[in-house]
């Protein structure tokens, strides 16, 4: 099974777009998204220096636009992608790229949101001097305890041996003077403490804009940074992306879900390398492909053909399906037969794991066409649970 992933801020490098923009089709599409973002993204991706593209208001639109246009280069006929992609996941701002790629929102909506997200996060970062530091190695419990001791947040939990601490520069200096045992600290070239309470003002601004965005249920499984759950309601996909601005990125839980899904191949959109590097350490035996230049497109398509299997979401109209958010045991709470009505926001059941129990609700409501699982059945992430015929608007 193939998972497509999109990297987050920090993956950009000076000049990384130069070979891509030699293709007239890529350049034209990129120019369109640049116009939506109201930024000369071609300049930033080819001629700007490291300091210029470190700017949050630049880096975030640059990354999302690159991922979206590169995906069109990989899949010239976008509808064909859903016969190959089993799931998608984006790290931090990469979630906007995969949300658009999965058709939950449009590319233009993604660019407006990332433009405003980047500006709002830059303003929030300017209010207090903050930053982030990667902690490589060490015992997980000791690392987290040391962060709590210094008032820091584990803003990115990227899997075994890699946690990113975020907070004020004073707090990070204290950590550098008193690091966890057997761990190496690497200060990151970022402009603020992203995915922490310091970004709360940005959440309010982006949420106010997101209310006006029309959404659709995604065409493939979307794995959320929030908790690693598969999300298949378009409005929830967007709300989670908004909340994630000030919440830790749980990439470790995303990796667990990929493992539960049976992933065999992970393809990272450009600028690639960060997420495939993490996957090599965390998911032994899973093949990876870091797409960084147009000369790799033919090999990337072979990789897609080798690992591609369709997501079950594409087998039926997606807006009629409710799916499991995670691996576990399904507990049915509505004892309703086929033909019965389910009201909007009704809880049809829950998926129980060793850690927690996650409710499954019907956001739209409708008439039960068929139950696809029974009470007590084991379920996997994104597995269809019930098929509903939607309520018709009067």
CATH assignment of the domain containing 148: 3.30.70.250
CB 137 within 8 A of CB 159: no
For residues 134 and 120, membership in a common domain is answered with no
CB 100 within 8 A of CB 210: no
Cα(288)–Cα(283) distance, integer angstroms: 10
CATH assignment of the domain containing 385: 2.40.50.100
For residues 208 and 328, membership in a common domain is answered with no
Other CB atoms within 10 A of residue 375 CB? 12
Cα(93)–Cα(220) distance, integer angstroms: 19
For residues 81 and 96, membership in a common domain is answered with yes
Among 283, 313, 343, identify where a domain stops. 313
Cα(229)–Cα(217) distance, integer angstroms: 15
Cα(306)–Cα(265) distance, integer angstroms: 8
Among 289, 313, 337, identify where a domain stops. 313
CB 92 within 8 A of CB 194: yes
Q: Does the residue 192 lie in any domain?
A: no
Identify any residues that bridge with 184 across adjacent strands, giving them in sequence order. 136
For residues 11 and 113, membership in a common domain is answered with yes
pLDDT at 314: 55
CATH assignment of the domain containing 275: 3.40.366.10
Active site residues: 92, 195
pLDDT in tens, the chain (394 residues): 999 999 999 899 999 999 999 999 999 999 999 999 999 999 999 999 999 999 999 999 999 999 999 999 999 888 888 889 999 999 999 999 999 999 999 999 999 999 999 999 999 999 999 999 999 999 999 999 999 999 999 999 998 889 999 999 999 999 999 999 999 999 987 779 999 999 999 999 999 999 999 999 999 999 999 999 999 899 999 999 999 999 999 999 999 999 999 999 999 999 999 999 999 999 999 999 999 999 999 999 999 999 998 877 755 555 678 999 999 999 998 888 888 999 988 999 999 998 889 999 998 888 999 999 999 999 999 999 999 887 654 4
* pTM exceeding 0.75: yes
Cα(204)–Cα(242) distance, integer angstroms: 9
For residues 134 and 183, membership in a common domain is answered with yes
For residues 253 and 307, membership in a common domain is answered with yes
pLDDT at 392: 53
Number of structural domains (the chain) is 3
Domain with 358, as residue range(s), is 317-390
β-pair type (221-223, 85-90): parallel
């Amino acid at each position: 099974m193939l998972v497509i992933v999109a990297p987050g801020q920090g993956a950009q490098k000076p000049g990384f777009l130069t070979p891509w923009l030699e293709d007239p089709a890529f350049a034209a599409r990129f120019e369109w998204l640049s116009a939506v973002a109201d930024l000369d993204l071609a300049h930033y991706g080819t001629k700007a220096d490291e300091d210029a593209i470190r700017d949050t208001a630049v880096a975030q639109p640059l990354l999302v636009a690159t991922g979206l246009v590169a995906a069109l280069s990989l899949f010239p006929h976008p509808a064909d992608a859903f016969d190959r992609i089993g799931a998608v996941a984006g790290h931090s701002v990469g979630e906007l790229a995969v949300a658009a790629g999965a058709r939950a929102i449009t590319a233009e909506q993604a660019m407006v949101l990332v433009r405003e997200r980047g500006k709002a996060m830059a303003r929030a970062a300017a209010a207090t001097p903050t930053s982030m530091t990667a902690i490589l190695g060490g015992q997980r419990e000791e690392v987290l305890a040391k962060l709590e001791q210094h008032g820091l947040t584990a803003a990115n939990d990227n899997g075994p041996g890699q946690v990113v601490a975020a907070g004020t520069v004073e707090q990070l200096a204290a950590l550098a003077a008193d690091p966890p045992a057997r761990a190496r600290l690497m200060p990151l070239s970022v402009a603020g403490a992203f995915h922490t309470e310091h970004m709360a003002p940005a959440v309010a601004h982006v949420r106010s804009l997101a209310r006006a965005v029309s959404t659709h249920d995604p065409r493939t499984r979307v794995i959320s940074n929030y908790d690693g759950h598969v999300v298949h309601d378009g409005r929830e996909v967007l709300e989670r992306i908004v909340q994630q601005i000030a919440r830790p990125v749980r990439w470790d839980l995303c990796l667990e879900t990929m493992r539960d899904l049976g992933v065999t191949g992970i393809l990272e959109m450009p600028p690639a390398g960060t997420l495939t590097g993490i996957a090599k350490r965390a998911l032994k035996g899973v093949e990876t492909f870091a797409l960084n230049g147009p000369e790799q497109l033919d090999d990337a398509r072979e990789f897609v053909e080798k690992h591609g299997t369709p997501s079950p979401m594409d087998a039926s109209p997606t807006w009629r399906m409710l799916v499991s958010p995670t691996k576990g045991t399904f507990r049915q709470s509505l004892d309703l037969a086929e033909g019965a009505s389910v009201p909007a926001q009704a809880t049809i059941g829950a998926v129980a794991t060793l850690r927690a129990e996650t409710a499954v609700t019907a956001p739209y409501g409708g008439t039960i066409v068929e139950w696809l699982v029974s009470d007590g059945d084991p379920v996997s992430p994104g597995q269809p649970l019930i098929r509903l015929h939607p309520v018709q608007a009067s």
